[in-house]
């Protein structure tokens, strides 16, 4: 696969277009351009269909694919102006703002800000994000992380129901607006991480099964049939996903991908799809001379995911560590239920500071298994930590942020725990001013049965965990609107105070190398059980110096003897 150019879908080459799509079971494939003559595609090897030097398609033309007469959106569409069920739109991705002077920043220096485009700003789109970048710069952030932007059904969604992974959600502004936002970020010194979902497709608007064997029943996932990465015909699915990962780097100048729930990607072939993504990303890196990073969400405590491909690793540069969050929240007083059940508070938090993973082979009650493996030998920059993210906030029935769960002082402690960690710290939008609006679960499917199923699913989920009250209606526009950040809060003394605190913490981190990502050997945690306190010693790798971080999770002043 040539990573230098777009290999799937519609590609502009000057005024002409090429088109290539995988539809192995089809007997006739056509491009149906609105108000123009259909173009027959020719069948090529391995189930691909192609047309070259097309002159009749102009930018912004609407088109469909006709698979044996059936009219469908292009699986590699980059824009669906009328939604996921509508026609695709011809967009020239080659004409983009230059980012040539941008060299990315080292992963070890990432300070990440996770944001949801729809609720981050009042406008709810990429332009809205652009307007707020100076706030993030002032805060000290070095990388923004966009929750998924792939086209989903309706206007409102967290992004994990995307069905067209190449299409940029129209209500966010589409591909051109994303290219513009990335260029603006780079001009301000900000890296951009994009959240991508390769483990499942959303429940509405997914037409991929009409094109080929995108799914397999070899494996069961929480979201139904697994994506086919190793069963018959998976070669086309693999190329589709590799091409997608490369597109973000090549055509959008994205700096890093956050790969959603890679533990749900099942692949027992000799070359795991993550290894292939890693190899192709390295190839592109060599061509452009810029580093690109792959950060996996992974729930397996298996360091193989973040080991190099040459060592039979899966080649991810980094991963999220939910266990750090769980231990931290229990230390902060979170009731031990659900996924907190396994966590002991400060002793586990101490372990997480030293070893990244808490469970490294011990018995986990929640999993009823001996779980995980030591990540010894890996660097702190390979682990992203947070005191809250979209999942932990939004998967609560009422979407409460830390701001409404913990005292002001405890919120500051949580921030300090993250921002002095030897890992890559990540904030969730608004936490820097203790935003009090919730971040709720919202969807905007058009299929009434599906909407009802989602509603019932939420109800049952919280009935099972005995939470009082009722889950807000995920389909209601109000649920979405209530989840928007309230930027006006920043003008209030308390919130401004919190913002200044975050700002100073980040400045402190930037000032002292010893507070940044580090070799885990240089981190020592001292647990003071009786005092519910933790002392983290951060040694300087070269000199005989160290910094001590004292974290007092109790409600009173403590005296610690060293």
Q: What's the closest the beta carbon of residue 266 comes to its own copies, in angstroms?
A: 7
Tell me the closest approach of the beta carbon of residue 146 to its own copies, in angstroms.
28
Q: What is the DSSP string of 418-443?
A: HHTSSSEEEEETTGGGT--S------
Q: Does 365 bind its own copies (CB under 8 A)?
A: no
138 lies in the binding site for its own copies (CB under 8 A): no
CA separation for the pair 388, 402 (Å, rounded):
7
- Nearer Cβ to its own copies (189/377): 377
Handedness of CA 258, 262, 265, 271 (dihedral sign): positive
By CB under 8 A, tell whether 373 contacts its own copies. Answer: yes
- Cα distance between residue 246 and residue 152, in whole Å: 21
Stretch that binds its own copies, among 68-76, 230-238, 458-466, 545-553 (CB under 8 A): 230-238
Which stretch in 64-72, 301-309, 420-428, 547-555 sits in contact with its own copies by CB under 8 A?
A: 301-309
The separation between the first and the last C-alpha atoms of the chain, rounded to the nearest angstrom, is 58
Task: Name which of 43 and 367 has its Cβ closer to its own copies.
Answer: 367
Q: Which stretch of DSSP H or E encloses residue 112?
A: strand 112-115
**What is the secondary structure of 474-486 as a DSSP string?**
TT-HHHHHHTS--
User: Is position 266 an interface residue for its own copies (rule: CB under 8 A)?
Assistant: yes
In the complex, the smallest distance separating the C-beta of residue 50 from its own copies, rounded to whole angstroms, is: 18
User: Which phi-psi region, left, alpha or beta, contains residue 4 (left: φ > 0; alpha: ψ -120 to 50)?
Assistant: alpha
Q: In sequence order, what DSSP letters do the residues of 376-411 get, joined into one string?
A: TT-BGGGEEE-S--HHHHHTSTT---GGGTS-HHHH
Q: What angle do CA 265, 162, 454 make, to 5 degrees?
A: 95
**Residue from 42, 71, 187, 312 binding its own copies (CB under 8 A):** 312
What phi, psi does 168 have (nearest 5°)? -95, 125
**Active-site option among 114, 204, 251, 260:** 260
Size of the site for its own copies (CB under 8 A): 34
Segment lying near its own copies (by CB under 8 A), choices 118-126, 305-313, 380-388, 526-534: 305-313
Nearer to its own copies, 300 or 450 (CB): 300
Site stretch for its own copies (CB under 8 A), options 75-83, 294-302, 401-409, 481-489: 294-302
| Nearer CB in complex with its own copies: 197/298 | 298
Residue 384: CB minimum distance to its own copies, A: 19
Q: Is 341 in the site for its own copies (CB under 8 A)?
A: no
* ∠ CA 146-503-297, rounded to 5°: 30
> Toward its own copies, which CB reaches closer, 218 or 412?
218
Phi-psi region of 357 (alpha: psi -120 to 50; beta: other; left: phi over 0): beta
Asked if 279 is part of the footprint of its own copies (rule: CB under 8 A), the reply reads no
260 given a catalytic annotation: yes
Distance CA 412, CA 432 (A): 10
Q: Is the Cβ of residue 47 or residue 472 nearer to its own copies in the bound state?
A: 47
**Minimum distance of its own copies from residue 383's CB (angstroms):** 15
The reply to whether 114 belongs to the active site is no
* Residues 520, 379 contacting (CB under 8 angstroms): yes
Rg of the chain, C-alpha, whole Å: 24
Q: Is 268 in the site for its own copies (CB under 8 A)?
A: yes
The active-site residue, picked from 161, 297, 322, 355, is: 297
- Within 199-228, the residues that bind its own copies by CB under 8 A are 217-220
46 binds its own copies (CB under 8 A): yes
Place of tokens 């991480």: 193
- The catalytic site residues sit at 260, 297
- What is the binding site for its own copies (CB under 8 A)? 46, 217-220, 230, 232-235, 263, 266, 268-271, 300-304, 307, 311-313, 361, 363, 367-373
């Amino acid at each position: 696969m040539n990573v230098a150019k777009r290999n799937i879908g519609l590609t502009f080459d000057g005024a002409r277009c090429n088109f290539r799509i995988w539809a192995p079971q089809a007997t006739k494939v056509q491009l149906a351009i609105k108000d123009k003559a259909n173009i027959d595609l020719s069948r090529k090897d391995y189930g691909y269909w192609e047309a070259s030097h097309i002159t009749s398609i102009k930018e912004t033309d609407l088109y469909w694919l006709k698979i044996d007469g059936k009219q469908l959106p292009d699986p590699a569409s980059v824009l669906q102006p009328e939604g996921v069920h509508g026609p695709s739109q011809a967009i020239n991705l080659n004409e983009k703002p230059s980012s040539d002077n941008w060299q990315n920043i080292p992963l070890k220096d990432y300070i990440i800000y996770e944001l949801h485009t729809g609720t981050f700003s009042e406008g709810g789109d990429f332009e809205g994000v652009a307007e707020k970048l100076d706030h993030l710069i002032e805060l000290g952030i070095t990388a923004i992380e966009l929750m998924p932007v792939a086209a989903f059904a309706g206007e409102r969604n967290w992004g994990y129901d995307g069905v067209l992974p190449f299409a940029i959600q129209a209500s966010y502004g589409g591909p051109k607006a994303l290219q513009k936002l990335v260029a603006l970020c780079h001009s301000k010194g900000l890296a951009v991480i994009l959240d991508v979902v390769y483990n499942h497709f959303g429940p509405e608007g997914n037409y991929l099964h009409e094109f080929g064997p995108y799914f397999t029943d070899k494996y069961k996932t929480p979201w139904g049939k697994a994506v086919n990465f190793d069963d018959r015909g998976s070669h086309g699915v693999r190329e589709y996903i590799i091409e997608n990962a490369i597109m973000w780097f090549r055509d959008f100048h994205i700096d890093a991908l956050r790969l959603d729930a890679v533990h749900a990607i099942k692949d027992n072939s000799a070359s795991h799809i993550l290894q292939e993504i890693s190899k192709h990303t390295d190839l592109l890196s060599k061509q452009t001379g810029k580093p690109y990073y792959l950060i996996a969400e992974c729930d397996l405590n298996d360091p193989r995911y973040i080991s190099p491909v040459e060592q039979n690793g899966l080649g991810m540069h980094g991963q999220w560590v939910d266990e750090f969050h769980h231990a931290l929240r229990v230390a902060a007083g979170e009731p031990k239920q659900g996924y907190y059940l396994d966590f002991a508070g400060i002793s586990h938090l101490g372990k997480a500071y030293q070893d990244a993973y808490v469970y490294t082979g011990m018995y986990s009650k929640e999993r009823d298994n001996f779980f995980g493996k030591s990540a010894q030998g890996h660097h702190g920059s390979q682990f992203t930590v947070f005191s809250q993210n979209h999942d932990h906030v939004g998967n609560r029935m009422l979407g409460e942020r830390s701001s409404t769960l913990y005292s002001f002082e405890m919120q500051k402690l949580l921030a300090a725990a993250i921002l002095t960690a030897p890992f890559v710290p990540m904030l969730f939008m608004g936490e820097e001013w203790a935003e009090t609006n919730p971040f709720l679960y919202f969807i905007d499917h058009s299929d009434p049965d599906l909407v009802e199923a989602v509603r019932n699913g939420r109800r049952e989920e919280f009935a099972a965990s005995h939470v009082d009250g009722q889950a807000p209606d995920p389909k209601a526009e109000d649920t979405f609107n209530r989840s928007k950040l309230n930027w006006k809060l920043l003008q209030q003394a308390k919130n401004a105070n919190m913002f200044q605190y975050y700002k100073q913490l980040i400045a402190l981190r930037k000032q002292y190398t010893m507070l940044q990502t580090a070799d885990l050997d240089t981190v020592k945690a001292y647990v003071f059980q009786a005092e519910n306190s933790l002392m983290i010693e951060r040694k300087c790798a070269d000199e005989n110096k160290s910094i001590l971080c004292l974290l007092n999770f109790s409600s009173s002043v403590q005296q610690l003897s060293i």
